[in-house]
Amino acid sequence: MDFAKLDFIVFIGYLVILASIGIWISVKNRNRNEQEYFLAGKSLPWWAIGGSLIASNISAEQFIGMSGSGYVVGMAIASYELMAALTLIIVAKFFLPIFLKNNIYTMPQFLERRFDKRVKSTMAVFWVLLFVFVNITSVLYLGSLALKTILDIDMLYGVIGLALFAATFSIFGGLKAVVWTDVIQVVVLVFGGLVSSILVLEALGGDFLNGFMTLIEKAPEKFDMILDKGHPEYKNLPGISVLVGGLWVANLYYWGTNQYIIQRSLGAKNIKEAQKGTIFAAFLKILLPIIVVVPGIAAYVLGADLDLPDEAYPWVLKNYVGTGLKGLAFAALISAIGSSLSSMVNSATTIFTLDIYKPLFKEESSKKLVFIGKAFAGLSLLLGVIVAPMLGGLDQAFQYIQEYTGFISPGVVVVFLFGMFWKKASANGAFWTIMFSIPLSIVIKYAFPDFPFMDRMGVSFLVLTAVLVIISLVENKEGDKKAISINPELFKTSRAFNISTFIIIGILAFLYAIWW
């Protein structure tokens, strides 16, 4: 890409400023114990939580991966973003009160309190492996792909550079440094992302609105939110299942049980701040399709000649974003990558230190635990740097990540839902649900190769629900001794939360009604 001197100044200047802020926060807030390092001392306000949720969520797999899917399938891929807004409301109202009331630090910790150490240890090991070898590596790969496409930087050097950038505020500063740098990054990624979309739409139609209408006019098939069986991408987005099927499993897993997402809310000052932050994030999710999907559709309409769909967003930056703004838009992409990397590293570190290392070595020293956390954070990034270059050749990386995360997500969602809301759910029921989750998904995938992976998640969820229920009923006639006692008062929410919920549901209903 033809980067002008001003673009380099904006881009490099942003990276230096953000890294400096991260280091300053790390030095200023020396973490004396594990609560400060892993949960920011439970001091986070709502706006920091909401901003950090989106900054952690929007990464290269959205900017690069969803734009690539937008190029191939269109606005239907936005269901991941739009339905996530509704999922965030459910998590804020029903999940967060339970987690915060029980003073939970990590998701495996909850599983131990509700079930037993087997369930906790199994999921702790799985999550650490998933974060390191799937999430961190895929973000590094996609980020380095963007650097190669836009700046012609060798992929290995790009991976190393991104890892070092994330390390400046993820290793030494803990969650507090991650969240406060996320607040800065979410502003840049939303503004920079909107700039890219606005400029490419102006190139199409003279202004934003006319450009958007031109997209609809020239590629109406890209605005079908619910795909029929004849659509070549039906296997990835199987019709009505995006509203009532397996997408719910994916979203509840990601927003309600995923450590690197839920950890922001666990660090809140109180439940009200956590809920306000989550509803703020839900509003931002509705905005995101304009940022991450529209550029991919625009690249299709403009006839972009791409080797891979995931090159759509870099192609838009290269051809339609002007001097200075190009540096800002690229900074937005790096913001997304850096914030997600730091969040993933911090959460993998939290689970490894508190749920694997601490009980295994009976370590009680807060200073030692923080040291181990920092060391594992560095190791996580190092492993990511080694593995990321091996992922070359992926087509639609976003869909790839969703499918293979879906091997375990149905079992996790079953265990958490029944663990929280059904008193008879037993430890053996939870353990065997988790153990059957991956084998069941593999059997369905290879026995029925044409079966959409989202439907596979839905079927797996139903089968695993039966597994947990049957085992639990055999063991617990009356109720499980570790069952959570829930008072309905726990789920009462403020008037502002309820009004916001009504507005979000109304927006979603309108969008699906006009683009059905």
Find the mean pLDDT for residues 443-455: 88
Residue 330 has pLDDT above 80, yes or no: no
Q: Say whether 507 sits in a helix, a strand or coil.
A: helix
Question: Quick one: which of 186, 170, 181 has its CA closest to 346?
Answer: 170
Look up the domain containing 114 and give its range. 5-30+37-406+486-515
**Distance (Å, whole) CA 225 – CA 403:** 19
Residue type, 362: K
Check residue 86 and give its pLDDT. Answer: 95
Answer yes or no: is 124 within a domain: yes
Confidence tier at 33 by pLDDT (50, 70, 90): low
pLDDT, mean over the chain: 85
Find the mean pLDDT for residues 46-59: 85
**Distance (Å, whole) CA 415 – CA 491:** 20
Q: What are the pLDDT digits (tens) for 84-101?
A: 999 999 999 999 999 998
Structural domain tally of the chain?
1
Answer yes or no: is 55 within a domain: yes
Answer yes or no: is 450 within a domain: no
Question: Quick one: which of 63, 150, 49 has its CA closest to 100?
Answer: 49
Q: Say whether 477 sits in a helix, a strand or coil.
A: coil
Check residue 137 and give its pLDDT. Answer: 87
Listed range (140-154, 165-179, 226-240) with the worst mean pLDDT: 165-179
Confidence tier at 27 by pLDDT (50, 70, 90): confident
Q: What are the pLDDT digits (tens) for 268-295?
A: 889 999 999 999 999 999 999 988 899 9
More confident residue, 239 or 446: 446
Answer yes or no: is 436 within a domain: no
Answer yes or no: is 157 within a domain: yes
Residue 399 has pLDDT above 80, yes or no: no
- DSSP states of 164-214 as a string? HHHHHHHTSSHHHHHHHHHHHHHHHHHHHHHHHHHHHHHHHHSSHHHHHHH
Q: And the tokens for 93?
A: 């109202």
**Distance (Å, whole) CA 422 – CA 288:** 35
C-alpha radius of gyration, the chain, whole number: 22
CA dihedral 109, 475, 438, 341 (to 10 degrees): -10
Answer yes or no: is 420 within a domain: no
Listed range (30-44, 246-260, 422-436) with the worst mean pLDDT: 30-44
Residue 173 has pLDDT above 70, yes or no: no
Answer yes or no: is 382 within a domain: yes
What is the domain-level CATH number for residue 127?
1.20.1730.10
Q: Which residues contact 347 (CB under 8 A, 6 or more apart)?
A: 131, 259, 260, 263
**Distance (Å, whole) CA 126 – CA 349:** 13
Contact of 274 with 265, CB cutoff 8 Å: yes
Phi, psi of 364 (to 5 degrees): -115, -15
Answer yes or no: is 466 within a domain: no
Residue type, 264: R
Query: Three-state SS across 376-424?
Result: HHHHHHHHHHHHHHHHCCCCCHHHHHHHHHCCCHHHHHHHHHHHHHCCC
Phi, psi of 268 (to 5 degrees): -70, 155
